[in-house]
């Protein structure tokens, strides 16, 4: 997994050859993960928590499924 800071509150996360954006919008208490299509994939209270889940729990199949999502399904 590769994490690159884009700017304050925004990171690019590449895992299993799929690129995601992790950002914390101004005023929001949560970090939101978006796939390359701009679809909201998941939210977490902390950046470290989101990255830990992705690092330990996301298989290649899970990353591929989230990268292909066209609409938010977790809410």
DSSP alpha helix (H) spans, 30-74: 47-57, 60-68
> In this structure, which long-range contacts are made by residues 56-64, counting pairs with CB atoms below 8 Å and at least 24 apart in sequence?
58/15, 58/16, 59/16, 60/16, 63/15, 63/16, 63/18, 64/16, 64/18
Task: Tell me the per-residue pLDDT of 50-61, one tens digit each, with 9 for 90 and over.
Answer: 999 999 999 999
C-alpha angle 69-74-75 in degrees, rounded to nearest 5? 125
Sign of the dihedral through C-alpha 53, 58, 63, 65? negative
pLDDT at 75: 58
Specify the pLDDT at position 72.
86
């Amino acid at each position: 997994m590769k994490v690159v800071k884009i700017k304050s509150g925004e990171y690019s996360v590449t895992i299993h050859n799929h690129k995601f954006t992790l950002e914390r919008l101004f005023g929001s208490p949560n970090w939101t993960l978006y796939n390359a299509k701009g679809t909201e994939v998941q939210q977490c209270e902390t950046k470290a928590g989101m990255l830990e889940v992705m690092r330990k729990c996301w298989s290649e199949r899970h990353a591929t499924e989230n990268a292909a999502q066209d609409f938010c399904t977790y809410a």
